[in-house]
Chain A
Amino acid sequence: DAKTTQPPSMDCAEGRAANLPCNHSTISGNEYVYWYRQIHSQGPQYIIHGLKNNETNEMASLIITEDRKSSTLILPHATLRDTAVYYCIVKETSGSRLTFGEGTQLTVNP
Chain B
Amino acid sequence: NAGVTQTPKFQVLKTGQSMTLQCAQDMNHEYMSWYRQDPGMGLRLIHYSVGAGITDQGEVPNGYNVSRSTTEDFPLRLLSAAPSQTSVYFCASSYGWQVAGNTIYFGEGSWLTVV
Give the contact stretch, choosing among B11-19, B64-72, B97-105: B97-105
A43 touches B33 (CB 8 A): no
Q: Is A44 an interface residue (CB 8 A)?
A: yes
Separation of A48 and B109 alpha carbons in the complex (Å): 21
- Is A42 touching B104 in the complex (CB atoms < 8 A)? no
Kindly list chain A residues whose C-beta atoms are within 8 Å of the C-beta of B31.
Answer: 96
For A100, the closest partner residue in chain B by CB is B42
CB of A110 closer than 8 Å to a CB of B: no
Q: Mark A66-110 against chain B: 1 for CB-CB distance below 8 A, else 0.
A: 000000000000000000000100000111111111110000000
B34 to chain A, nearest CB (A): 12
Contacts of A103 in B (CB 8 A): 42
Chain A contact residues, majority secondary structure: loop
B18-55 CB mask vs A (1 if < 8 Å, else 0) is 00000000000001010100000111110010000000
A51 cross-chain contacts in B, Cβ below 8 A: 100-101
Give the residue name and chain of the B residue nearest to A51 (CB).
Answer: B101
Contact A98 B104 (CB under 8 A): yes
Shortest B113–chain A CB gap in Å is 14
Binding site for A on B (CB under 8 A): 4, 31, 33, 35, 41-45, 48, 58, 90, 92, 94, 97-109
Identify 9 residue pairs between A and B in the complex whose beta-carbon atoms are under 8 Å apart, listed by A's number: A32-B101, A43-B4, A46-B103, A46-B105, A51-B100, A93-B100, A96-B94, A97-B48, A98-B43
